[in-house]
């Protein structure tokens, strides 16, 4: 007898199904947490359950999570966070006086003197002031207004928030957003979710993943046939390609943005991760203002930073900020409304950010240990960058550019024709994608990697 006949109630399907859900969500792909990573998680579970494998652990080479790979936290950062989390420790003599002073200042800025309270949606005011002071020091005295600083749940949150403001239109009027290829998948995932048009511009692998304005113009002109390009996203130092842009390159990009009336988004979360001797980090804001009022008073820009990278590696605390330049005041009011919906960024993340932009000074007791630990972390990252580059270049079929900065080595792996042909007939995860097929083969040695295809369909990189 049917269920309907027993209960006398018409049988209905699910309210939410794959057919009637938001179609943009189905278009989202985020390789950093995609099918290969999901398989790695399953393998870890199998290992814990005692299932025998030819290995004992999964090596995670798919994401920049320093602490997960064994990097130790910076003592001063964790001391202050511990004091903020459990203020009774302020009476403990084991903690240095400068750590206690920072903790008291942060707690005094929190509701009820507790990091468990909400803050203003834009972030705690004194922390935004410290961020502005940090930017001014970094950029040689160029002013920074705390009112233009928005604290965020990591840089990713701020990037997606800005894209929400920028994306509009339908059909050929849909907003187009220019992103670099090879890319960091956050951008393509966010654009798919928002219904924007992804405009790919390609970095030049033969020139150490250099950015050429000629390529930007090509991508822009082609895109104008089917969308309204409004945004140019730059990652410097590069993720996943590890290049550090020269000052001249940044100037050229700024001129291009001005000429083509584009909003600039400068992702600068790896700004302290520069290893090559002939390279130096230049912030887009500093270069913009040094180019004079013609540019500094007209080019609209948002720049982003995070506590997740550099020497800190504190990914889990989700601390970050963005600084806005030349944003329309009426749009800024709408942004304040938008961030108010999510109430506020996590207070521990805000506290951590404050310590990053305002670290121990030479006359303070924590300075020596802090400096020693910071220097050691950056030196280790530089050593690993050089080591991985050298090792890759000894393997037949693999070539790798020098890693100038950031946290990733991005080699070119030439796939044999036989592997490409096999991928086309095998239904492993997604058929007809040789690079994804190749990544699955790493299961035999249990290295979890990330795949980011470049222009060529027969010569891919993972």
For residues 322 and 146, give the distance between their C-alpha atoms in angstroms, rounded to a whole number.
11
pLDDT of residue 34: 62
3-state DSSP call for residue 390? Answer: helix
Q: Is the pLDDT of residue 436 over 60?
A: no
Work out the average pLDDT over 230-237.
97
CA 160 to chain centre: 11
CA 49 to chain centre: 33
pLDDT of residue 245: 96
For residues 381 and 374, give the distance between their C-alpha atoms in angstroms, rounded to a whole number.
11
Q: Is the pLDDT of residue 461 over 90?
A: no
pLDDT of residue 19: 82
Q: Is the pLDDT of residue 153 over 80?
A: yes
Q: Is the pLDDT of residue 351 over 50?
A: yes
Which of the two residues, 388 and 430, has the higher pLDDT score? Answer: 388
Work out the average pLDDT over 330-334.
96
Work out the average pLDDT over 285-305.
98
Which of 140-154, 176-190, 288-302, 413-427 has the least mean pLDDT?
A: 413-427
Q: Is the pLDDT of residue 266 over 50?
A: yes
pLDDT of residue 140: 97
Across the chain, mean pLDDT equals 89
For residues 132 and 296, give the distance between their C-alpha atoms in angstroms, rounded to a whole number.
17
Q: Considering the chain, what percentage of its residues have pLDDT values greater than 90?
A: 72
For residues 326 and 244, give the distance between their C-alpha atoms in angstroms, rounded to a whole number.
25
pLDDT of residue 53: 85
pLDDT of residue 268: 98
Q: Is the pLDDT of residue 224 over 60?
A: yes
pLDDT digits (tens, 9 = 90+) for 44-55: 888 888 888 888
pLDDT of residue 288: 98
| Beta bridge mates, 266 | 234, 303
Q: Could you give the count of Cα atoms lying within 13 Å of 305 in the half-sphere of its Cβ?
A: 26
Q: Using alpha carbons, list the distances in angstroms from residue 24 to 175, 188, 365.
A: 15, 12, 52
Which of the two residues, 436 and 323, has the higher pLDDT score? Answer: 323
Work out the average pLDDT over 65-82.
94
For residues 412 and 370, give the distance between their C-alpha atoms in angstroms, rounded to a whole number.
37
pLDDT of residue 447: 55
pLDDT of residue 396: 92
Question: pLDDT-based confidence at 2, cuts 50/70/90?
Answer: very low
The tokens of 264 are what?
Answer: 């600039």
pLDDT of residue 35: 72
Q: Is the pLDDT of residue 32 over 90?
A: no
Which of the two residues, 421 and 125, has the higher pLDDT score? Answer: 125
- Give the domain ranges of the chain: 1-64+408-462, 108-357
Q: Is the pLDDT of residue 368 over 50?
A: yes
3-state DSSP call for residue 417? Answer: helix
CATH topology of domain 108-357: 3.40.640
Is pTM beyond 0.85? Reply is: yes
């Amino acid at each position: 007898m049917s269920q309907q006949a027993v209960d006398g109630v018409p049988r209905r399907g699910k309210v939410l199904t794959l057919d009637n859900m938001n179609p943009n969500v189905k278009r989202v792909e985020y390789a950093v947490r995609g099918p290969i990573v999901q398989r790695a998680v399953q393998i870890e579970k199998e290992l814990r359950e005692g299932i025998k494998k030819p290995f004992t652990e999964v090596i995670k080479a798919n994401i920049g999570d320093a602490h997960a790979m064994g990097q130790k936290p910076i003592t001063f950062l964790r001391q202050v966070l511990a004091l903020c989390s459990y203020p009774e420790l302020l009476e403990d003599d084991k903690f240095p006086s400068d750590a206690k002073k920072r903790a008291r200042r942060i707690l005094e800025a929190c509701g009820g003197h507790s990091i468990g309270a909400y803050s203003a949606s834009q972030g705690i005011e004194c922390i935004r002031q410290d961020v502005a002071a940090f930017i001014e020091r970094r950029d040689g005295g160029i002013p920074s207004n705390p009112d233009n600083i928005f604290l965020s749940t990591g840089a990713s949150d701020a990037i997606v928030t800005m894209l929400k403001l920028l994306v509009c239109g339908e059909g050929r009027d849909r907003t187009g957003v220019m992103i670099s290829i090879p890319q960091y998948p956050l951008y393509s995932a966010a654009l798919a979710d928002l219904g924007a048009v992804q405009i790919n511009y390609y970095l030049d692998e033969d020139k150490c993943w250099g950015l050429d304005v000629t390529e930007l113009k090509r991508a822009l002109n082609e895109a104008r046939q089917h969308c309204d390009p409004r945004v140019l996203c730059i990652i410097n130092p590069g993720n996943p390609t590890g290049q550090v842009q020269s000052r001249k390159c940044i100037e050229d990009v700024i001129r291009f943005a001005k000429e083509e009336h584009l909003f600039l988004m400068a992702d600068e979360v790896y700004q302290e991760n520069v290893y090559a001797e002939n390279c130096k980090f230049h912030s887009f804001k500093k270069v913009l203002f040094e180019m004079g009022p013609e540019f500094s008073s007209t080019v609209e820009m948002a720049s982003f930073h995070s506590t997740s990278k550099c020497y800190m590696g504190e990914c889990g605390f989700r601390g970050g900020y963005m600084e806005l330049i030349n944003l329309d005041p009426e749009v800024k009011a709408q942004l304040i409304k938008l961030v108010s919906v999510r109430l506020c960024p996590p207070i521990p993340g805000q506290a951590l950010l404050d310590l990053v932009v305002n670290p121990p000074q030479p006359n303070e007791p924590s300075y020596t240990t802090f400096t020693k630990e910071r220097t050691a972390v950056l030196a280790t990252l530089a050593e690993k960058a050089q080591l991985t580059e050298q090792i890759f270049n000894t393997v037949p079929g693999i070539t790798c550019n020098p890693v100038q900065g950031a946290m990733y080595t991005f080699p070119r792996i030439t796939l044999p024709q036989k592997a490409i042909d096999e991928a086309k007939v095998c239904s492993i995860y997604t058929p007809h994608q040789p690079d994804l097929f190749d990544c699955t083969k790493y299961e035999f040695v249990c290295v979890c990697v990330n795949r980011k295809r470049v222009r060529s369909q027969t010569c891919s990189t993972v």
